[in-house]
């Protein structure tokens, strides 16, 4: 369909993109109009004009509200990223003499949020108030996908080498621990043989999860068969079910430090075999790295080194530390 400028392309403006994304998020033109401070016919007109320019329907009108079509879902995803990039650009070019400014979206492994999230936000707010932080938490596989898709600027991942699209900087190695109710009496100075832990009912990450892959590989090496009681994709749920007596679980030390300090769970490092994971800082391999992203990456690394040096990251080692432990 010809565009307004006669070039044969499609002309889309920022208002249309905002209307598209907002309607998709709230499922209602009326609610979207309220959030955008527009009248309802204006939002309807922006959506309809965009549909006419693209030659496809972007929404289905259902009893449950406005639902994106397959084409609409693609456009919403792209529009959201375009709006985010525009917002980032505005933040970077806004005049702040001598200050680093911008929006930085950071991916944190769910197990590390208790240790790193507040400390990172506090340090960046104190030293670089012109930087707006956005923290996203998930498991490693999801974070890697978001980083590849351009939704994150940098992210913690684990057991990842450099890829064609990402640089991976090793930050820390840490052991996996058997985690049990306090009544089990597990202790940090008494490692538990993997076969012993595997013989208990286990609350496990779901199959396909990177942590589950580490556990399955260790079970194979130990010649043990896992007694799985329940599977979940949530670390807090794993700990909650262990606390309720549904079995033991396996987690990285960083994810249970607060629970051990408060005495709500007991835990011990796994042995025979020892099971380790390597946490890396992953960043896009190509494209310009904004100064704000460099600043946040430096601060995140500093926070991790400090946590290891002061013993807040359980059974962790920095790269280059001597170790005879078996690694994954």
Tally the domains of the chain: 3
Residue 4: inside a domain:
no
The domain in which residue 45 lies consists of 14-89
Last residue of one domain, picked from the residues 67, 89, 111:
89
CATH number for the domain harbouring residue 178:
3.40.190.290
Task: Give 32-79 pLDDT, tens digit per residue.
Answer: 888 888 888 888 888 888 888 888 888 888 888 888 899 888 888 888
Residue 51: inside a domain:
yes
Are 244 and 267 part of one and the same domain? Answer: yes
Q: d(Cα 76, Cα 82) in Å, to the nearest integer?
A: 10
Last residue of one domain, picked from the residues 38, 71, 89:
89
Are 282 and 268 part of one and the same domain? Answer: no
Task: Give 206-263 pLDDT, tens digit per residue.
Answer: 987 888 999 999 999 999 999 999 999 889 999 999 999 999 999 999 999 989 999 9
Are 167 and 296 part of one and the same domain? Answer: yes
Are 167 and 297 part of one and the same domain? Answer: yes
CB atoms closer than 10 angstroms to residue 225 = 11
Residue 181: inside a domain:
yes
Cβ-based neighbours of 270, under 8 Å, separated by 6 or more = 175, 176, 177, 178, 191, 192, 193, 194, 197, 218, 250
Are 312 and 299 part of one and the same domain? Answer: yes
Task: Give 280-300 pLDDT, tens digit per residue.
Answer: 999 998 777 888 999 999 999
Selection from 279, 307, 318, 319 nearest residue 114 by Cα: 307
Record the pTM: 0.70
CATH number for the domain harbouring residue 131:
3.40.190.10
Selection from 198, 157, 195, 191 nearest residue 175 by Cα: 191
Are 298 and 215 part of one and the same domain? Answer: no
- Per-residue pLDDT at 94: 65
């Amino acid at each position: 369909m010809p565009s307004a400028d006669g070039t044969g392309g499609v002309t889309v403006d920022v208002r249309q993109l905002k209307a598209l994304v907002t309607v998709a998020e709230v499922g209602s033109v009326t609610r979207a109009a309220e959030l955008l401070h527009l009248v309802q016919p204006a939002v309807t007109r922006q959506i309809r004009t965009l549909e006419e320019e693209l030659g496809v329907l972007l929404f289905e009108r259902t009893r449950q509200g406005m639902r994106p079509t397959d084409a609409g879902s693609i456009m919403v995803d792209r529009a959201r990223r375009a709006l985010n990039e525009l917002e980032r650009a505005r933040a970077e070019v806004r005049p702040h003499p001598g200050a680093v400014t911008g929006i930085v979206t950071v991916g944190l492994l769910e197990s590390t949020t208790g240790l790193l999230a507040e400390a990172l936000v506090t340090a960046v707010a104190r030293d670089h108030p012109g930087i707006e932080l956005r923290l996203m938490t998930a498991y490693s596989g999801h974070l890697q996908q978001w980083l590849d898709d351009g939704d994150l600027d940098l992210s913690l991942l684990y057991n990842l080498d450099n890829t064609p699209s990402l640089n991976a900087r090793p930050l820390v190695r840490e052991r996996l621990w058997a985690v049990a109710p306090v009544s089990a009496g597990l202790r940090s100075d008494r490692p538990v043989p993997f076969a012993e832990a595997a013989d208990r009912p286990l609350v496990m990450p779901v199959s396909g999860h990177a942590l589950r892959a580490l556990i399955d590989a260790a079970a194979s090496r130990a010649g043990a068969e896992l007694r799985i009681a329940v599977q979940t994709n949530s670390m807090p749920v794993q700990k909650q079910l262990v606390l309720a007596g549904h079995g033991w679980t396996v987690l990285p030390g960083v994810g249970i430090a607060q629970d051990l300090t408060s005495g709500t769970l007991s835990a011990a490092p796994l042995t025979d075999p020892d099971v380790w994971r390597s946490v890396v800082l992953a960043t896009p391999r190509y494209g310009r790295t904004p100064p704000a992203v460099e600043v946040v990456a430096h601060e995140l690394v500093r926070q991790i080194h400090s946590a290891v040096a002061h013993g807040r990251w359980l059974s962790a080692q920095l790269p280059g530390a001597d170790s005879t432990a078996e690694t994954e």
